[in-house]
Amino acid sequence: MCKMKDIELNKILSNRIKFLRKQHNLTMEKLAYQSGLSKGGLSEIENCQKEPKTKTIAKLCAGIGITITEFYDFKEINEYVERM
């Protein structure tokens, strides 16, 4: 069973992935291909149906063309960490 904080973090990460994908003008198909993931797997992550593991986030960052540091450098994640 997921704790509320886990669900909140999953939603934050899922929204970040979707935002970055759109910001870099990537379709789900293109990002999935560039990351070595299935389109269905990416869809599950973006729709909060599957928790993105660290390794998957690293693959997505490579597919988008950003560093992991850039991925985690945003307001919502910083606020979440401060509340912990």
Of 79, 83, 77, nearest to 10 (Cα)?
77
| Domains defined for the chain, CATH in brackets | 4-83 (1.10.260.40)
Tens of pLDDT, residue by residue over 5-54, are 688 888 999 999 999 999 999 999 999 999 999 999 999 999 999 999 99
pTM: 0.85
CA-to-CA separations, 64 to 13, 48, 61, 79, 80, in angstroms, rounded = 15, 19, 5, 24, 24
> Is the four-CA dihedral 33, 35, 41, 45 of positive or negative sign?
negative
Do residues 66 and 58 lie in contact, with contact meaning Cβ atoms separated by under 8 Å?
no
